[in-house]
């Protein structure tokens, strides 16, 4: 009798586990991440499929984000429900959040249309002086019109699914995004309340060129053995290689060219130097070796620099 009870308990446990696994499998198939493919198409035409399981990622500011349906997987997903429930309602939304600014919606072709309304408004206040102060400001409002897609399986018309399934895309270059901005993309299946969310940080991959304005201290040794130290203003053109897989030196070491106004000879009214530069730790420190272009004797010099305009952590 005890063995029968143990067997019954074990069988009940196994059946409940099996039911949970089947329900979990069905849920996975019904979720948009199973049949939606999100791919980045770079300006060079390279296609990069984004990980469907990862919420966060990076994307190039000049790329096109394509949202594609895998028809075979979608047919399989719809087929797990009873016949009267074989439909899905797909909504695709996109938002952009610039750095230090509020998030706003953008249109997704064939899925949503965003109408932007900007108006000049004014606000009046009555301070203690009893003089009315009127403040003018710009107010922007967004209105979103959704064009949800209803997808379904029909035994009499099996091709309907292919006909109503519409791929779409978001052209990031047309949005004029800057490095550090974020794109929020959500694909929702409204019937079952499933959501596939992507948060993509915008970067500019490849060679990035920007300016820094360090305060430099030059060191020069003349033929007579005399040395001189002098502060000089200058500007450095920094070359930074930004890759999709961040290397250890991406924030630590960058090459550049420094142009400085020097003061080696008091008889010269204008002295210009040019040096090969190496910036260190997010361009905070700088060292270089260059030549005074306006002098013939002992024109070579070393310098060290400190960038106090952009402190570490602020980027290039």
Q: What is the pLDDT of residues 299-308, one digit of tens each?
A: 889 999 888 7
Q: What's the pLDDT at 279?
A: 92
What's the whole-number mean pLDDT along residues 183-205?
A: 91
Higher pLDDT, 232 or 250: 232
Q: How confident is the model at residue 244 (pLDDT cuts 50, 70, 90)?
A: confident
Give yes or no for a contact between 38 and 55, defined as CB atoms under 8 angstroms apart: no
What's the whole-number mean pLDDT along residues 52-69?
A: 90
Please give the backbone phi and psi of residue 277, each rounded to the nearest 5 degrees, phi first: -115, 155
What's the whole-number mean pLDDT along residues 279-293?
A: 90
Q: What's the pLDDT at 126?
A: 61
Q: Are residues 196 and 210 in the same domain?
A: no
End of a domain among 200, 220, 238? 200
Please give the backbone phi and psi of residue 21, each rounded to the nearest 5 degrees, phi first: -65, -40
164 domain residue, yes or no: yes
Q: How confident is the model at residue 128 (pLDDT cuts 50, 70, 90)?
A: low
Q: Are residues 219 and 162 in the same domain?
A: no
Please choose, from the candidates 22, 50, 25, the residue with its C-alpha nearest in 3D space to the C-alpha of residue 36.
Answer: 50
- 23, pLDDT greater than 50: no
Q: Are residues 223 and 282 in the same domain?
A: yes
Whole-angstrom distance, CA of residue 301 vs CA of residue 316 = 26
Please, what is the average pLDDT of the chain?
79
CB neighbour list of residue 233: distance below 8 Å, 6 or more residues apart:
213, 215, 216, 260, 261
**HSE-up (13 A, CA, CB side) for residue 210:** 14
Q: Are residues 171 and 287 in the same domain?
A: no
Whole-angstrom distance, CA of residue 274 vs CA of residue 300 = 10
**HSE-up (13 A, CA, CB side) for residue 78:** 25
Tally of domains in the chain: 2
Give yes or no for a contact between 92 and 108, defined as CB atoms under 8 angstroms apart: yes
Whole-angstrom distance, CA of residue 39 vs CA of residue 46 = 10
User: How many Cβ atoms sit within 10 Å of the Cβ of residue 234?
Assistant: 26
Give yes or no for a contact between 60 and 173, defined as CB atoms under 8 angstroms apart: no
Q: Are residues 191 and 85 in the same domain?
A: yes
DSSP run (H or E) holding 130? none
pTM over 0.75, yes/no: no
Please give the backbone phi and psi of residue 24, each rounded to the nearest 5 degrees, phi first: -65, -40
Higher pLDDT, 72 or 111: 111
End of a domain among 200, 221, 240? 200
Q: Are residues 43 and 187 in the same domain?
A: yes
Q: Are residues 180 and 289 in the same domain?
A: no
Whole-angstrom distance, CA of residue 78 vs CA of residue 153 = 7
Q: Which two tokens stand for residue 262?
A: 């020097």
Residue with tokens 């070359």, as numbered in its chain: 239
User: 232 is in which domain, residue-wise?
Assistant: 206-306
Whole-angstrom distance, CA of residue 300 vs CA of residue 264 = 11
What's the whole-number mean pLDDT along residues 150-165?
A: 61
Q: Are residues 49 and 184 in the same domain?
A: yes
Q: What's the pLDDT at 2?
A: 47
Give yes or no for a contact between 73 and 137, defined as CB atoms under 8 angstroms apart: no
**HSE-up (13 A, CA, CB side) for residue 311:** 0
3-state secondary structure of 5: helix
107 domain residue, yes or no: no
- 218, pLDDT greater than 70: yes
């Amino acid at each position: 009798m005890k063995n029968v009870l143990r067997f019954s308990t074990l069988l009940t446990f196994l059946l409940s586990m099996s039911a949970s696994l089947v329900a979990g499998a069905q849920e996975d198939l019904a979720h948009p991440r199973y049949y939606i493919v999100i791919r980045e198409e770079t300006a060079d035409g390279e296609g990069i499929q984004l990980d469907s399981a990862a919420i966060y990622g990076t994307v190039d500011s000049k790329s096109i984000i394509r949202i594609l349906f895998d028809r075979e997987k979608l047919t399989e997903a719809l087929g797990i429900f009873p016949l009267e429930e074989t439909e899905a309602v797909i909504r695709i939304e996109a938002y952009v959040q610039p750095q230090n600014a509020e998030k706003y919606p953008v249109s997704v072709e064939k899925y949503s249309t965003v109408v932007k309304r900007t108006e000049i408004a004014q606000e009046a206040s009555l301070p203690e002086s009893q003089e009315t102060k009127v403040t003018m400001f710009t107010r922007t409002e967004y209105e979103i019109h959704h064009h949800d897609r209803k997808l379904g399986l029909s035994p009499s018309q099996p091709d309907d699914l292919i006909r109503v399934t519409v791929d779409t895309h978001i052209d990031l270059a047309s949005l004029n995004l800057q490095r550090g901005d974020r794109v929020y993309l959500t694909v929702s299946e409204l019937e079952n309340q499933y959501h596939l969310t992507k948060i993509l940080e915008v970067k500019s991959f490849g060679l990035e060129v920007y300016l820094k304005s360090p305060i430099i201290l030059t060191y020069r040794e003349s033929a007579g053995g005399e040395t001189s130290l002098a502060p000089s203003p200058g500007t450095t053109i920094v070359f930074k290689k930004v890759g999709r897989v961040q290397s250890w030196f991406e924030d630590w070491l960058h090459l550049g060219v420094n142009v400085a106004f020097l003061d080696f000879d008091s008889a010269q009214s204008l002295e210009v130097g040019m040096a090969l530069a190496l910036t260190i730790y997010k361009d905070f420190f700088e060292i270089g070796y260059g030549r005074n272009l306006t002098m013939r004797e002992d024109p070579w010099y070393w310098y060290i620099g400190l960038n106090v305009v952009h402190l570490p952590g602020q980027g290039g």
